[in-house]
Amino acid sequence: MQTRKHITVPCDDLALGHRNHELAVLLELSNLLAWSHDYQDLLFNSLSFVLKQLELDAGRLYLMDDDGKSLHLAVSLGVNPTGLKKVSIHEGFTGQAVRSRQFIAQHVTEMEDKPRKKLLQKKGFVVVICIPLVVLDRVVGVLNLAARRLIRLTTENIDLAIVMGNLIAVGLNNAQLQKELREKARLLEEQNSAIQYFAYTASHDLKSPAVGIFALTQRLMKQAGANMAPRAQECCRQILNAASHIESLAKEMNAFVAARGAKLKLEDIDLNLVLETVHQELAGRLAERGVAWVAPEELPTLRADRLGLTRAFQNLADNALKYGGPGLTKVEILHREEDGQHVFGVRDDGVGLDPAGSERLFQAFQRGPTSHGTEGTGLGLAIVREVAERHGGRVWLESAPGQGATFYFSLTKTSDKPEVTDL
């Protein structure tokens, strides 16, 4: 039986400095990718960042076409964008980088493609570099880079270039998925079509790159340990927060689909236990903010979908904590019965808001004017609306600026007969 041998690798100050520099570069790039919202700006900033870090003069970023057989020019820096706006994966060093999925560097004088060689020499370029952008074993694009002088390529900066390419690939894939998500959500809302299939698929596609970015960042932090600079640590925390937000969005989308399309499982529910569960979940945040939780001493037992009802209270209480403002001191649960319905309310004494146009707040991916600077998915109130409507009720808001807000939802009383409905 072989025993594992542990070795110690000496690390001098110079090597440690190089490693910290590379780590800082990757963290800065990850931060740029995580917080860029405009797709075209993301393309431009990614190319600009790589050119700066590798000290190169010009570059082009090509993206893979849907057919997987060619690439199109997405952004260009330091060189005239005319010409070679579309490249086949079967030609040139660009195609070679796609097919091999490997980093390629070449002196222009050694190129076999005479027309490209002549063109590059005419523009004064001496060295060309190709970096394939690969995510989940799929090439999504290529970085074509060039220098007008001889450059020294070491193992360290080649590895750095490859890792930057991988990070950019994940970032571009994530940005494209989010772009598609927003467009599909708009179309589905207009058409009132099959949102269930879309949401489950999109949430899965959103979660995968988020998990990848999260894991990579944690790995970088673990490897650097105490050697990580404070600025690098802050960058890491920002990246982790962004990845967590994307993952939360994916979970909220699944919850929205469940509230909208899943079968209602009606059962007798003790509301006191439901609210106690919600209270316990929020206890830490309430205590931290110094916010009181006020609920009726006795609430009735009613027939409803337990998961949906719990989620409705959770989302409304969470909404009050997020958007109630710094002066929030109380979150109060209300209940009354009228016209064959249970009416519930979650009242806060926070900043309040103008009730005009409040119906929009209950639509998917919509956020109120007090949400600026506060993390959220724009799905919490939409889930409450779906829960209420599928129980034969509705949602509404009573509020005024500076006077707090009360979000109401109602549920139609049901018979005592157990059933499972598909509304």
Q: Where are the domains of the chain?
A: 263-421
Label residue 249 exposed, middle or buried (CB < 10 Å: 0-12, 13-18, 19+).
buried
The predicted pLDDT at position 369 comes to: 52
How does the average pLDDT of the chain come out, rounded?
Answer: 79
Dihedral over Cα of 382, 384, 389, 393: its sign: negative
For residue 418, name the pLDDT band (cuts at 50, 70, 90).
Answer: very low
Task: Tell me which CATH code domain 263-421 carries.
Answer: 3.30.565.10
Which segment of 81-95, 105-119, 224-238, 277-291 scores lowest on mean pLDDT? 224-238
Nearest to 241 by CA among 34, 67, 388, 57: 34
Contact indicator for 147, 127 with CB cutoff of 8 Å: yes
Work out the average pLDDT over 324-341: 91
**Residue at token pair 């179309």:** 187
Question: Cβ atoms within 10 A of the Cβ of 340, count?
Answer: 10
The predicted pLDDT at position 131 comes to: 92
Work out the average pLDDT over 333-338: 92
Which of 186-200, 211-225, 264-278 tops mean pLDDT?
Answer: 264-278
Residue of higher predicted confidence among 263 and 299: 299
Work out the average pLDDT over 240-246: 63
What is the value of pTM for the model shown? 0.44
Compute φ and ψ for 45, nearest 5 degrees: -65, -35
The predicted pLDDT at position 421 comes to: 39
**Residue at token pair 């007008």:** 148
Residue of higher predicted confidence among 181 and 277: 277
Kindly give, in sequence order, each residue whose CB lies less than 8 Å from that of residue 81, ignoring residues fewer than 6 positions away. 60, 73
The answer to whether residue 415 scores a pLDDT higher than 60 is no
d(CA 152, CA 150): 7
Contact indicator for 404, 350 with CB cutoff of 8 Å: yes
Q: What is the pLDDT of residues 44-71, one digit of tens each?
A: 988 999 999 888 999 999 999 988 899 9
Work out the average pLDDT over 138-161: 86
Q: Helix, strand or coil for residue 408?
A: strand
The predicted pLDDT at position 62 comes to: 93
d(CA 120, CA 352): 62
d(CA 179, CA 169): 15
The answer to whether residue 394 scores a pLDDT higher than 50 is yes
Question: Cβ atoms within 10 A of the Cβ of 237, count?
Answer: 13
Nearest to 47 by CA among 155, 161, 154: 161
Q: What is the pLDDT of residues 7-51, one digit of tens each?
A: 554 556 555 566 677 788 888 888 878 776 678 888 898 899 999
For residue 292, name the pLDDT band (cuts at 50, 70, 90).
Answer: very high
Dihedral over Cα of 125, 127, 128, 133: its sign: negative
What residues form DSSP beta bridges with 304? 267
Work out the average pLDDT over 173-190: 75
What's the token pair of residue 395?
């949602």
For residue 82, name the pLDDT band (cuts at 50, 70, 90).
Answer: low
Work out the average pLDDT over 410-414: 86
Sequence-ordered strand ranges (E) for 49-171: 58-64, 70-77, 86-88, 104-107, 127-135, 138-147
Q: How far is CA 418 from the centre of its chain?
A: 40
Cα distances (angstroms) measured from residue 289 to each of 6, 283, 326, 407: 49, 10, 8, 21
The answer to whether residue 105 scores a pLDDT higher than 50 is yes
DSSP H/E element including 177: helix 155-191
Q: What is the pLDDT of residues 297-308, one digit of tens each?
A: 888 889 998 888
d(CA 417, CA 354): 42
For residue 290, name the pLDDT band (cuts at 50, 70, 90).
Answer: very high
d(CA 270, CA 253): 27
